[in-house]
């Protein structure tokens, strides 16, 4: 009898832990301040949502991956806010970047979906295959690069101007460095940041450069070291990379990879960390400063509404700070420099009104010279042929010619380690 | 002298002979028990109706014509790898390097598609791709076999390590051929020209793969049971000393068989890359090289039985995926169900070989 | 305790494996101060019966009484508690430990282990019964007979007074056998109950007080040894009268067939196995090879068959016209393709001569599967051959598709010999052709070998039973530690002479 009681108790304990965890992640997703705007857009669609629409979502992993969780939460939020019932949206999790993605997309079409989303870069080609086969169904792929050159009216890419979010996060990092310099922990010349990247891919280059430029805008002497792990999710490699950067003398770490490796390494070493994908404050209460992330809910809402209304969807959709796609978490006052939140509001206003451009060519040099012209590789091809002039009006036009980032200049002040990937 | 009767309550003894229906009945009972155990676990942990879960598993496998095709395609690839490892296993050469042999075969296929994509007519290109895949897989199988034959190295460790070498080679070439730069992905190769893609039979995307593996299954059955080489493999596996005694060149048989085994793994890689995925990634084999070990063992190394065992494993996998989708449960739940069912099926083998007898006078003792 | 109360009384014991009965309603009494010989053909259930006594199996039915009290023996530990100790055919000793360490291994005695005390107690036991054991000698340094002694001392040390020995003489020389018998007689006089499982009639006659006979799992009867004879016991064992004569027809026109000269062989780890061995095997003649087990017989036959690397010397096949072909450096395939019809019945039947998991047909195919140009095997010929062997040699098998592993040792041997002589050999090598076989099967094999001899085959017969070697062989090569100790004429040699030559090169006792 005692055993049974013990079993029941432990079950209850497990269940309560599970619900507690679930609660945490839910709280995190509703945190962004821009929600009001999202809901404002969603409101008029609610009447049409009763229509017979079915939406399919393809995710690379399941909710155990922070990357996919971010998408899953946004998808659920968008569907619920549009009044879709549970049998009107289908989640397919753990879909690898191969034929399985094509199969899953086709199965979703078989199940009656008229719009199918996929969340991982490697899904793109298989989504295109499916799009060719089912012209009446809309296929929307996040982070992809090929929609604007494919010429398919039912295949679309989406991204967000996350470089702006990272720029803001960089400002928070710069302020923290300034505070540490003032406290005499190190000199202004020693202000060096570390960055753990996944691949040497434009999305990552754009990300770390904007982060660096954000920091440099408040801490002009800052330099940065970037290392690459060759994987989007490799907890051990990310942790090792962060530790290496710390031992190289980096005073602050940020990352663009999806595991908790770098943040936990920072917490252990007591080094401030600017995070990505969402708040890591629970695991890193002493070192977490702020985190930027893409909120996909506005995009999902927009596309589903467009399908309902029978409107054309553009080949590329770039979410912005303004439409609530690019968001920052709350600043952790325990770790951030004083006045960070206020400064971030100020810079954000500047980004919104166009007085600040992240890739302002006056703020950086390449090999000692300012950049006046740059042909970017916007149209994807196996030979990486540069094709589009991206610099004009004194700044690099990121995410304008396609939604996915294509800024891949190697600017001064950033040194790259382990670039094999 | 009062002696306590401590005769064993349960006695285990080996069965001699079972009627032909005996093993079938035991396995059927195992499946029924497994389903019952799954039902208990399902209701206890999720509150879902177990019958509905089973129904969902069924629809996950056979729900639509497309699902059925995907099921058979997955069976075809898994069966192909299982057939590939079987001759080695019969020879007691523990080839757990099928994963690497598949990868390297796939890599060779992809290399031909990328490098020769626009330069050759498609039939020629496909022929070269096939040969390259067979050669690469065969080479990957031959290396540990030669070392085993020459220096009696441990083939289990060796083939396992070869998997990592293959994975790293693929990782290297993915970066060489990645599109776009820095992405760490190749994407679909020749998506516009479809050069090097296996032709589609009618409107059936996967039919060709399935037919190829069906023919291979029959061929492997005949090879193992009727050919002189198959007989040599069996003798070498049973006793290398006997093989030497009758003049079989053991080293030569080991190398020859492993080339065959590796080449067929390479064929599986070829079917994946040229037939369906049209790309190469480090994870394209998807653990099939290891699942194949189970398929082969469970089928007692009989190619015909392997159709059933590979069906069982793919069915469970597809069903588990459907459970995750339909009930919003994590994929792991499907894996739990699969684990329970496999536990019972593998466990039933014990009862086919052994019998338990309860102590006759157990009641009287108390 | 009353002398007439049996130390062990087995009552109505039955045991079956998967529906096949191994023992059926066996009742048997074992007395103290008596040596009981348990006789029976292979598969007659002797070992199974004794295993139930030593706790390895548990009977399905029946009762065991120790000193008149009903007991339950469900593990070897229980058996020890009742003073039952069994010495198995295969020794269970740890090679790297000393005799004394092996003896106390697994004993749970309170307090610190005092090895000196153990050694003292071991010495005591040895003196009492006349054993010769050095408690501090490592097992790997010991001869087979010494190892056996350690096994016996081990059970005595643990207080066993009921001893069961499973075919203890199979691995011993005649001299060692005599020593063992002396010890067993000492134990008998000190009141121990002794059971010895054996095939060898002369040993039964020499040693035992009483004989119990099993046939097909059933108890046939027991007789006092002095009231019976070998012929009668054999008849009881087999169930019908048998003749116990081995023929030795005169060799017809013997010609040299195999010339071995200066043969030296080392094992893989460099141990000298054969040293400068020379002899000639002639057609129409049986050449016996005698020696303690493991003194080069296996290497000698395998060298002739092309399975053993040779360091020095030559092995030549002599044709009828006198031309000679060197066999060294050729594998079995090449020897066959030279036209030398060489058949070999190896010592390790299921590990070398046959494939245990394959059926009769597939085993017949081992020699012939390469025939023909097809890539496919032809099973018709082998199937016919299997059927023929089964019929002619009286193999007892459920069918031609039964894996040979399932058959009894004698039937396995018949299949192997049947296959090897089916290819009409000119040279037949046999190693321990009757090891583990019962009387009936053994005589069948002797007959087959004699038939080959009369057909002009050069037979090389490696044997362990000196009585048989002396009756069967025309000439006997005695090996001692890899060297030829002497070559004797089978008609004039004596057992004692061979026994001495087996232990000392040349057969003199001077260096002992």
List average pLDDT for each run of 10 residues in chain C, which is 512 residues long. 76 82 90 92 83 88 90 87 87 87 82 82 87 87 85 89 87 82 91 88 89 90 89 83 81 91 89 92 95 86 93 92 90 88 90 92 92 89 94 86 84 90 92 80 88 94 89 94 92 88 68 38
What is the three-state SS of C238-304? HCCCCCCCCCCCCCCCCCEEEEEEEEEEECCCCCEEEEEEEEEEECCEEEEEECCCCCCHHHHHHHH
| Residues C82 and C215 both lie in one domain | yes
Residue A61 confidence (pLDDT) above 50: yes
Output the pLDDT for position A36: 39
**A164-173, A301-310, B245-254, C172-181: range with lowest mean pLDDT:** C172-181
Report strand pairing: C61-66 vs C458-462.
Answer: unpaired
Interchain proximity A421–B184, CB inside 8 Å: yes
User: CA C264, CA C273: separation in Å to the nearest integer?
Assistant: 7
User: CA C160, CA C83: separation in Å to the nearest integer?
Assistant: 4
Output the pLDDT for position B360: 57
Give the residue from A18, A69, A99, A257 with the most B CB atoms within 10 Å of its CB, the best one to mutate. A99
Interchain proximity C369–B231, CB inside 8 Å: yes
C366 touches chain B (CB under 8 A): yes
Beta bridge partners of A194: A225, A253
Q: Which of residues 117-136 of A touch B (CB under 8 A)?
A: 121-122, 124-126, 128-129
Residue B278 confidence (pLDDT) above 90: yes
CA angle C214, C215, C216 (to 5 degrees): 120
Output the pLDDT for position C508: 56
Output the pLDDT for position B7: 59
The complex's ipTM works out to 0.87
Closest alpha carbon to C34 in C160, C133, C162: C162
- Rounded to an integer, the average pLDDT of B275-279 is 94
Whether C346 is covered by a domain: the verdict is no
Q: Could you tell me which CATH class the domain A163-292+327-416 is placed in?
A: alpha beta
Output the pLDDT for position C1: 45
Whether C499 is covered by a domain: the verdict is yes
User: CA A85, CA A82: separation in Å to the nearest integer?
Assistant: 9
Output the pLDDT for position C243: 72
Q: Which of C19, C58, C370 is opposite residue B228, by nearest beta carbon?
A: C370
Give the residue from B10, B19, B238, B300 with the most C CB atoms within 10 Å of its CB, the best one to mutate. B238
Residue B142 confidence (pLDDT) above 80: yes
Cα separation values, C28 from C46, C74, C227, Å: 12, 19, 19
Output the pLDDT for position C409: 76
| Residues C42 and C159 both lie in one domain | yes
Assign A13 a pLDDT band (cuts: 50, 70, 90): very low
Residue B364 confidence (pLDDT) above 80: no
The parent domain of residue C212 ranges over: 8-238
Whether C448 is covered by a domain: the verdict is no
- Rounded to an integer, the average pLDDT of B168-176 is 95
| Residues C229 and C265 both lie in one domain | no
| Residues C172 and C274 both lie in one domain | no
User: CA C244, CA C443: separation in Å to the nearest integer?
Assistant: 8
| Residues C234 and C288 both lie in one domain | no
Cα separation values, C482 from A276, C263, C494, C502, C505, Å: 78, 10, 21, 10, 10
Residue B120 confidence (pLDDT) above 60: yes
CATH of the domain at C308: 3.40.50.300
User: CA C94, CA C139: separation in Å to the nearest integer?
Assistant: 7
CA angle C404, C408, C412 (to 5 degrees): 50
Whether C440 is covered by a domain: the verdict is no
C-chain CB neighbours of B245 within 8 Å are 305, 307, 332, 344, 346, 352-353
Q: How far is B258 from chain A (nearest CA, A)?
A: 29
Q: What's the distance, CA A353 to chain centroid? A: 22
Looking at A2-86, list the stretches that DSSP marks H as alpha helix, in order from N- to C-terminal side. Answer: 2-30, 35-42, 66-81
Q: Which of A98, A200, A384 is opposite residue B281, by nearest beta carbon?
A: A98
Place of tokens 């995907």: B70
A92 touches chain B (CB under 8 A): yes
% pLDDT > 90, chain B: 68
| Residues C58 and C171 both lie in one domain | yes
| Residues C233 and C294 both lie in one domain | no
- A237: preceding bond cis by omega (within 30 degrees): no
DSSP annotation string for C123-171: HHHHHHHT----TTSBGGGS-HHHHHHHHHHHHHHTT--EEEEESTTTT
How many other CB atoms are found less than 10 A from the CB of residue B307? 19
Output the pLDDT for position B361: 52
More confident residue, A45 or B302: B302
Residue A37 confidence (pLDDT) above 80: no
More confident residue, C402 or B356: C402
The encoded tokens of residue C277 equal: 């061995």
Residue contacts between A and B (CB atoms, under 8 Å): 88
Buried/exposed code over B76-98 (b: 16+ C-beta within 10 A; e: otherwise): bbbbbbbbbbbbbbbbebbbbbb
- Rounded to an integer, the average pLDDT of A317-335 is 95
Whether C245 is covered by a domain: the verdict is no
- Rounded to an integer, the average pLDDT of A326-354 is 95
Q: How far is A318 from chain B (nearest CA, A)?
A: 19
pLDDT digits (tens, 9 = 90+) for A226-277: 999 988 889 999 999 999 999 999 999 999 998 899 999 999 999 999 999 8
- Rounded to an integer, the average pLDDT of A209-214 is 97
| Residues C295 and C408 both lie in one domain | no
Residue A328 confidence (pLDDT) above 80: yes
Chains B and C are touching, with contact defined as 3 or more CB–CB pairs separated by less than 8 Å: yes
Whether A27-161+296-319 and A163-292+327-416 share one fold: the answer is: yes
Structural contact between residues C217 and C22, judged by C-beta atoms closer than 8 angstroms: yes
B234 touches chain C (CB under 8 A): yes
Structural contact between residues A420 and B175, judged by C-beta atoms closer than 8 angstroms: yes
Interface partners of B (3+ CB pairs, < 8 Å)?
A: A, C
Report the mean per-residue pLDDT for chain A: 88
Closest alpha carbon to B84 in B259, B324, B314: B259
Structural contact between residues C276 and C483, judged by C-beta atoms closer than 8 angstroms: yes
DSSP summary character for residue B204: B
% pLDDT > 70, chain B: 95
B-chain CB neighbours of C348 within 8 Å are 241
Interface partners of C (3+ CB pairs, < 8 Å)?
A: B
| Residues C77 and C202 both lie in one domain | yes
User: CA B38, CA B335: separation in Å to the nearest integer?
Assistant: 11
Closest alpha carbon to B267 in B115, B138, B122: B138
Output the pLDDT for position C119: 87
pLDDT digits (tens, 9 = 90+) for A144-179: 999 999 999 999 999 999 999 999 999 999 999 999
Domain boundaries, chain A: 27-161+296-319, 163-292+327-416
Interchain proximity A97–B185, CB inside 8 Å: yes
Q: How far is A43 from chain B (nearest CA, A)?
A: 27
Assign B74 a pLDDT band (cuts: 50, 70, 90): very high
Q: How far is A177 from chain B (nearest CA, A)?
A: 30
Q: CA gyration radius for chain A?
A: 22
pLDDT digits (tens, 9 = 90+) for A230-243: 888 899 999 999 99
Sorted by sequence, the CB contacts under 8 Å of residue C15 that are 6+ apart come out as C21, C22, C23, C45, C48, C49, C52, C57, C59, C60, C61
A234 touches chain B (CB under 8 A): no
Output the pLDDT for position C481: 86
Output the pLDDT for position A21: 41
Whether C408 is covered by a domain: the verdict is yes
User: CA C147, CA C162: separation in Å to the nearest integer?
Assistant: 20
| Residues C69 and C133 both lie in one domain | yes
Report strand pairing: A316-319 vs A155-160.
Answer: parallel
Residue B117 confidence (pLDDT) above 60: yes
Interchain proximity A62–B67, CB inside 8 Å: no
CA angle B87, B90, B94 (to 5 degrees): 85
What CATH code is assigned to A27-161+296-319?
A: 3.40.50.2300
Output the pLDDT for position B6: 55
Output the pLDDT for position C499: 84
Output the pLDDT for position C507: 61
């Amino acid at each position: 009898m005692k055993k049974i009681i013990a079993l029941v108790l432990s079950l209850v304990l497990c269940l309560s832990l599970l619900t507690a965890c679930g609660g945490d992640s839910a709280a995190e997703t509703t945190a962004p301040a821009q929600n009001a705007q999202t809901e404002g857009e969603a409101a008029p669609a609610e009447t049409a949502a009763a229509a017979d629409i079915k939406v399919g979502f393809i995710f690379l992993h399941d909710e155990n991956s922070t990357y996919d969780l971010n998408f899953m939460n946004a998808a659920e939020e968008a569907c619920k806010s549009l009044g879709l019932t549970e049998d009107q949206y289908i989640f397919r999790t753990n879909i690898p970047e191969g034929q399985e993605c094509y199969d899953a997309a086709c199965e979703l079409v078989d199940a009656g979906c008229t719009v199918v989303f996929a969340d991982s870069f490697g899904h793109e080609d298989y989504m295109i295959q499916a799009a060719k086969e089912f012209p009446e169904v809309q296929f929307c792929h996040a982070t992809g690069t090929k929609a604007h050159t494919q010429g398919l009216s039912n295949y679309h890419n989406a991204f967000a101007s996350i470089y702006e979010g990272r720029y803001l996060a960089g400002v928070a990092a710069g302020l923290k460095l300034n505070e540490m310099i003032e406290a005499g922990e190190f000199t202004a010349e020693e202000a060096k940041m570390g960055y753990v990247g996944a691949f040497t891919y434009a999305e990552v280059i754009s990300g770390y450069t904007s982060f660096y430029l954000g920091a440099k805008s408040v801490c002009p002497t800052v330099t940065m070291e970037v290392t690459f792990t060759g994987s989007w999710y490799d907890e051990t490699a990310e942790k090792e990379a962060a530790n290496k950067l710390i031992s190289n003398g980096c005073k602050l770490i940020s990352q663009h990879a999806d595991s908790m490796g770098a943040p936990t390494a920072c917490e252990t070493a007591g080094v401030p960390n600017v995070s990505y994908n969402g708040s890591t404050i629970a695991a890193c209460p002493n070192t977490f400063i702020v985190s930027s992330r893409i909120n996909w809910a506005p995009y999902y809402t927009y596309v589903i509404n467009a399908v309902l209304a029978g409107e054309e969807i553009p080949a590329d959709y770039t979410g912005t700070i303004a439409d609530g796609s690019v968001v920052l978490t709350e600043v952790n006052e325990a770790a951030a420099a004083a006045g960070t939140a206020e400064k971030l509001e100020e810079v954000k206003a500047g980004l919104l009104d166009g007085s600040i451009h992240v890739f302002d060519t006056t703020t950086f040099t390449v090999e000692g010279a300012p950049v006046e012209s740059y042909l970017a590789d916007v149209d994807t091809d196996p030979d990486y042929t540069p094709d589009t002039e991206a610099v004009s009006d004194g700044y690099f036009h990121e995410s304008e010619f396609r939604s996915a980032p294509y800024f891949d200049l190697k600017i001064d002040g950033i040194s790259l380690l382990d670039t094999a990937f | 002298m009062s002696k306590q009767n401590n005769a064993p309550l349960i006695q285990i003894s080996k069965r001699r002979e079972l009627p032909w229906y005996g093993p079938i009945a035991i396995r059927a009972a195992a499946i029924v028990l497994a389903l019952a155990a799954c039902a208990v676990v399902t209701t206890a942990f999720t509150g879902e109706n177990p019958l509905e879960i089973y129904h969902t598993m069924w629809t996950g496998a056979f729900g639509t014509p497309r699902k059925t095709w995907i099921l058979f395609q997955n069976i075809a690839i898994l069966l192909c790898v299982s057939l590939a490892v079987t001759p080695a296993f019969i020879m007691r050469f523990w080839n757990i390097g099928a994963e690497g042999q598949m990868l390297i075969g796939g890599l060779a296929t992809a290399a031909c598609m990328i490098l020769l994509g626009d330069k050759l007519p498609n039939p020629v290109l496909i022929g070269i791709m096939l040969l390259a895949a067979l050669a690469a897989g065969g080479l990957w199988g031959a290396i540990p076999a030669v070392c085993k034959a020459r220096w009696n190295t441990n083939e289990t460790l060796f083939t396992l390590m070869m998997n990592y070498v293959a994975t790293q080679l693929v990782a290297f070439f993915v970066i060489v051929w990645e599109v776009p730069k820095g992405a760490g992905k190749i994407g679909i190769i020749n998506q516009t020209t479809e050069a090097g893609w296996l032709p589609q039979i009618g409107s059936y995307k996967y039919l060709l793969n399935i037919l190829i593996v069906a023919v291979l299954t029959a061929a492997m059955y005949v090879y193992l049971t009727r050919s002189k080489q198959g007989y040599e493999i069996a003798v070498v596996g049973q006793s290398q000393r006997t093989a030497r005694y009758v003049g079989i060149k053991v080293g030569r048989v080991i190398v020859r068989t492993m080339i065959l085994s590796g080449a067929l793994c390479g064929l599986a890689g070829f079917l994946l890359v040229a037939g369906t995925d049209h790309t190469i990634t480090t994870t394209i084999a998807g653990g099939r090289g290891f699942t194949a070990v189970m398929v082969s063992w469970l089928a007692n190394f009989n190619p015909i039985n392997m159709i059933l065992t590979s069906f069982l494993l793919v069915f469970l996998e597809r069903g588990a995926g459907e459970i995750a989708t339909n009930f919003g449960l994590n994929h792991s739940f499907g894996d739990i169900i699969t684990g329970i069912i496999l536990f019972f099926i593998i466990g039933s083998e014990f009862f086919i070989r052994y019998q338990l007898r309860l102590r006759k006078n157990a009641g009287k003792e108390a | 305790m009353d002398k007439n109360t049996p130390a062990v009384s087995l009552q109505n014991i039955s045991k079956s494996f998967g529906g096949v009965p191994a023992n059926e309603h066996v009742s048997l009494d074992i007395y103290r101060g008596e040596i009981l010989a348990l006789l029976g053909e292979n598969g007659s259930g002797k070992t199974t019966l004794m295993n139930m006594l030593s706790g390895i199996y548990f009977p399905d039915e029946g009762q065991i009484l120790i000193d008149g009290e009903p007991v339950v023996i469900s593990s070897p530990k229980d058996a020890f508690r009742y003073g039952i100790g069994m010495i198995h055919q295969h020794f269970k000793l740890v090679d790297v430990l000393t005799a004394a360490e092996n003896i106390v291994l697994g004993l749970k005695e309170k307090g610190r282990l005092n090895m000196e005390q153990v050694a003292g107690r071991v010495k005591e036991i040895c003196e009492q019964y006349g054993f010769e054991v050095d408690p501090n000698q490592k097992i790997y340094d010991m001869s087979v007979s010494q190892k056996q002694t350690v096994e016996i001392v081990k059970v005595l040390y643990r207080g066993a007074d009921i001893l069961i020995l499973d075919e203890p003489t199979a691995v011993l020389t005649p001299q060692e056998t005599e020593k063992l018998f002396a010890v067993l007689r000492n134990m008998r006089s000190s009141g121990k109950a002794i059971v010895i499982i054996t095939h060898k009639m002369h040993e039964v006659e020499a040693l035992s007080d009483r004989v119990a006979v099993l046939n097909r799992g059933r108890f046939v009867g027991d007789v006092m040894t002095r009231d019976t004879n070998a012929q009668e016991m054999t008849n009881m064992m087999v169930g019908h009268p048998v003749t116990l004569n081995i023929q030795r027809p005169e060799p017809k026109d013997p010609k040299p067939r195999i010339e071995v000269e200066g043969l030296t062989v080392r094992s893989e780890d460099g141990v000298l196995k054969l040293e400068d061995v020379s002899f000639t095997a002639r057609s129409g003649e049986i050449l016996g090879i005698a020696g303690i087990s493991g003194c080069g017989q296996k290497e000698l036959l395998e060298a002739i068959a092309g399975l053993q690397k040779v360091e020095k010397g030559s092995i030549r096949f002599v044709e009828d016209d006198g031309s000679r072909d060197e066999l060294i450096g050729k594998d079995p395939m090449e020897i066959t393709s030279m036209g030398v019809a060489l058949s070999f019945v190896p010592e390790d039947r299921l590990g070398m001569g046959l494939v245990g998991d394959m059926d009769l047909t597939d085993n017949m195919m081992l020699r012939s599967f390469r025939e023909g140009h097809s890539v496919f095997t032809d099973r018709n010929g082998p199937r016919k051959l299997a059927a023929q062997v089964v019929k002619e040699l009286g193999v007892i098998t459920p069918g031609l598709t039964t894996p040979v592993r399932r058959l009894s040792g004698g039937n396995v041997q018949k299949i192997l010999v049947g296959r090897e002589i089916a290819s009409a050999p000119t040279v037949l090598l046999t190693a321990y052709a009757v090891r583990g076989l019962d009387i009936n099967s053994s005589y069948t094999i002797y007959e087959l070998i004699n038939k080959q001899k009369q057909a002009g085959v050069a037979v090389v017969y490696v044997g362990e039973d000196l009585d048989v070697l002396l009756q069967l062989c025309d000439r006997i090569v005695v090996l001692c530690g890899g060297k030829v100790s002497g070559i004797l004429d089978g008609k004039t040699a004596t057992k004692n002479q061979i026994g001495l030559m087996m232990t000392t090169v040349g057969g003199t006792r001077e260096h002992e």
